[in-house]
Structure 1
């Protein structure tokens, strides 16, 4: 117990508590800190996180709820966020809702019961009333990439609209005039804004927005494969390029083309979105739109810390710009 540590180190219990508090232990004498830390190590003492939370010190644990743990983008996001947390001496609990609102709600309740210091979530369908209720209980919540109308909480955004514009403009600059799009479900703001970037850029360049060339599905490899097959069967539409709303969809589309004894970029140019690690080693390496994952993760974590320090935060939207990564999946045409 903490009393045993205090006795072995020859200091008071309050001194032990100060050593264990990163906010104030920097003001203590090194000799005292070393003596206490030695006693902690010898006794294998582990602070009771729940008890710390009840005393208002927090658990130093952040919860992350993401929609799909198999999606490399979310895997990389969790990896970066864990690095950020580790450097700040925080732990990270990662939960995957598998795109189920039921699982998402269950994980939110679990994290609440664990007294986490904050929750970062890319929601698949939470309503504002639930989020505002959690905030009312004093739980810091930060949304990532998906806003919820009426929810009074901070949101960390990639500039998805800019990314859609960048991808489409790149294909237009290469000479493509008939550009298809394999889109995600239109119930998320990220998909809506990427698609709007695509349509607005076509119109800005005097090109037609052909609804027959826009295919909606899930942002998964299998749907990229299936929907590219559908587009290719209608080759009379004359499209020469495809903008895919994420890299998994793009990789599925590439496979569909290659199965039909065609090639990328000779027959079709393809641009993805996310810049997942697989995109650089695909065949051919995929031209894509990079999201600033590190900045998003750092922004979400710092917002949680700022919330804890100030006691509350107003709704705010923070945007980070995307970047076009040119590789080998597109070609110039005349």
Structure 2
């Protein structure tokens, strides 16, 4: 009896792993447009809308600066949530698989590459901690924080050299001063922002970043010189105005104006090394912060989403440096604030 070349149906069922990808209809139009494995068929001809959406996503990622900011600061609004475009890519991937579209899957290479160029470095693990000069903590303490003493102890337990705080309401300020004083004997406060330090502070001054339309008393910026091992460092603490998402777009004019004022002050600072810590009510991708990000080094490791504390979706608490490197940025455990604290190592150039 002659054995059949293909084997029996029972034998084939018993060894499903022997099945392989094959191209049907060799020499036919169908064979040129699809690949199959069993009953699963991937096609080059379907999923054109998904492929076009993937290409559009890649263009927005690569050229987000070209999106006009008028009307409604649409460019800034897009940039504020730019890291979350990764979710769009994941949705497109799932839909492409469900649609069994080789065309859409191939097109997805473009937005994946664009996203990786923008944010891939932030996903890399922290390098082995090496030599650093300072550890800093930035935290919006929250004007409705019911446990300022607990917040102060939590920040001090991280053992940073500097602690920058915003939303220091009059009732809570004495609590922070009393709780932090044993480990942080030097402090500077201006309006609702403050700086606590293990190192001596001099030349403390208020920095005027108030937008022109705000006429009531408003003080949210300070500068102090920190003396670290015979080196002087200008340290700025700032709290930029809030932004609002409305039906007309992103209301960020005051924030942008305040960032411009702060950027000019830092540019004119005579000290070579400067640190900037604060709540900027924006992510670093937002073009509204260009007066600052164009002059300062920013973290290249760690997303460290800090707001809102209950479900963080963005990092609006920032640490920047000039003539220094900001190491891996990470968040600390939640306090009584609606923000999470962020901590970073600073290496001086």
Q: TM-score, normalised by structure 2?
A: 0.28
Q: In terms of Rg, which structure is larger?
A: 2
Query: Greater helix share, 1 or 2?
Result: 1
Query: Greater strand share, 1 or 2?
Result: 2
